[in-house]
Amino acid sequence: MQLRKSRALSMENQNIDRPTFVTHLECGKTGTRYQADQLHGLSEAGKPMIVRYDLEGIAAAVNKEELQSRPADLWRYREFLPVRRTENIVSLGEIMTPLIDMPKLQQGTGRLIVKDEGRLPTGSFKARGLCMAVSMAKELGVSKLAMPTNGNAGSAMAAYASRAGMETYIFCPADTPEVNVREIAAQGAKVWRVNGLINDCGKIVGDGKETLDWFDCSTLKEPYRIEGKKTMGLELADQFNWELPDVIFYPTGGGTGLIGMWKAFQELREMGWIEGRLPRMVAVQATGCAPIVKAYEEGTRHAELWQDAHTVAAGIRVPAAIGDFLILDAVRESHGFATAVSDEAIMDARHAAATQEGMLLCPEGAATLAAYQKELTTGRITENESCVLFNCATGLKYPLPSADASIDLNQPIDYHTM
């Protein structure tokens, strides 16, 4: 009886679990192979690890039509993702984010579209990477996570880890937006403000590993956040009916999303699901912290540490990115470029999008609009190209202009002054 019950359960699991296709991991720099289904951080060369799949197997298991008939969320791409067992998925409802046209701010005949990632759990695209990292941590038996963050990644990790019953230790630069620090704490993590930048916070995580035995979930220091962010590329292809836009503007800090999207496009092309020219990837940074732009302009494959980094767009204030070469490779292979915009241009773009299109962007999302406007004038993009801007977080998390007009009901209302 017991045997029959457990056989029935395993049959049931086979029905629930979708087939998975991870074959191995490899070092993003040297290509050295590593076994799947084991806990990995950086490669022996100290570089990010990349997850590889049996793409022929995926193409044989699922087709575009079947995929498009599934619920419109991140898990519709399950065969392209690393989680082996459904029971390990830690989810808070990762919806497919909408594409929103910006007809008033668009120039010429090309479309200008915002992909609004602020609708995801915890209000940012970090949910994509962290739902995957935490699910894989669960699958691989990890129970304690640590991370340096500029805010949104910490919030997403706190939420998913608390849901999975894991402990989290999070370190933020002292001037991280207050709402981010509070949301991290409110979602059950231990959080510290550090009088330094994100790389200083990263060092605390690295140094504490031995004593506190936590798993380092820093951007690109574990392999699965890229896979979660890859769904931005899969989703875009799906939403554009497998004909991708001409240009993608991505606010680039650690660059996981840009790297992940580029990986998605490579995989889809290798499977024959998309053809022709891929989108040009544009890495957008702030003039106060633009290491990738500098390296792009100087023609180098690695970026130097940016000194005295500052910008209103906290999410892209990353003075040194461990995946710099992966960002720069994607930008160059796609025939894109890297560009920097000033804080003033970011705030002007944020105002324009909110008042003319009703789109309250986060500062990082506004940076992509400022870059679009700038690059139309330099001629690096043209008016007939379709451009996608990534709004990576809800604009509601960030300071807004004050609105202090009021009405005193004890006084007559003077409508002429309205």
Q: 105-120: buried (b, 16+ CB within 10 Å) or exposed (e) per residue?
A: bbbeebbbbbbbbbbb
Which residue from 122, 168, 187, 252 is in contact with ligand PLP, where contact means CB under 6 A? Answer: 252
Interacting residues with ligand PLP between 377 and 406 (CB under 6 A): 392-393
**In Å, how far from its chain's centre is CA 136?**
17
Decide: is 254 part of the binding site for ligand PLP (CB under 6 A): yes
- Tell me which H or E stretch contains 337: strand 337-341
Angle (deg, nearest 10), helices 178-186 and 152-164: 10
Least Å distance between CB 403 and ligand PLP?
Answer: 23
- Give me the sign of the Cα torsion angle 292, 297, 302, 303: negative
Residue 77's CB is within 10 A of a number of other CB atoms, namely 20
Do strands 387-391 and 112-116 pair parallel, antiparallel, or not at all (unpaired)? Answer: parallel
Interacting residues with ligand PLP between 3 and 62 (CB under 6 A): none
Decide: is 255 part of the binding site for ligand PLP (CB under 6 A): yes
First vs last C-alpha separation in the chain: 78
CA dihedral defined by 106, 109, 110, 111, rounded to 10 degrees?
50
**In Å, how far from its chain's centre is CA 67?**
22
Which residue from 173, 233, 251, 395 is in contact with ligand PLP, where contact means CB under 6 A? Answer: 251
**In Å, how far from its chain's centre is CA 29?**
21
Decide: is 150 part of the binding site for ligand PLP (CB under 6 A): yes
Query: Rounded to whole angstroms, how far apart are CA atoms 406 and 401?
Result: 15
Least Å distance between CB 167 and ligand PLP?
Answer: 22
Pattern 340-379, ligand PLP, x by CB under 6 A: ----------------------x-x---------------
Q: 142-156: buried (b, 16+ CB within 10 Å) or exposed (e) per residue?
A: beebbbbbbbbbbbb
Which of residues 62 and 205 has its CB atom nearest to ligand PLP in the complex?
205
Pattern 295-334, ligand PLP, x by CB under 6 A: --------------------xx------------------
Only one of the segments 103-111, 163-171, 184-192, 249-257 lies at the binding site for ligand PLP (rule: CB under 6 A); that segment is: 249-257
Which residue from 168, 199, 256, 339 is in contact with ligand PLP, where contact means CB under 6 A? Answer: 256
Only one of the segments 100-108, 148-156, 189-197, 377-385 lies at the binding site for ligand PLP (rule: CB under 6 A); that segment is: 148-156
Interacting residues with ligand PLP between 172 and 231 (CB under 6 A): 219
Which of residues 135 and 152 has its CB atom nearest to ligand PLP in the complex?
152
Which of residues 62 and 153 has its CB atom nearest to ligand PLP in the complex?
153
**DSSP result, 360-398:** -B-HHHHHHHHHHHHHHHHTSS-TTS-EEEEE-BBGGGS
Decide: is 253 part of the binding site for ligand PLP (CB under 6 A): yes
Q: Which residue is nearest to ligand PLP (CB)?
A: 315
User: In the complex, which residues of this chain contact ligand PLP (CB under 6 A)?
Assistant: 124, 150-153, 219, 251-257, 315-316, 362, 364, 392-393
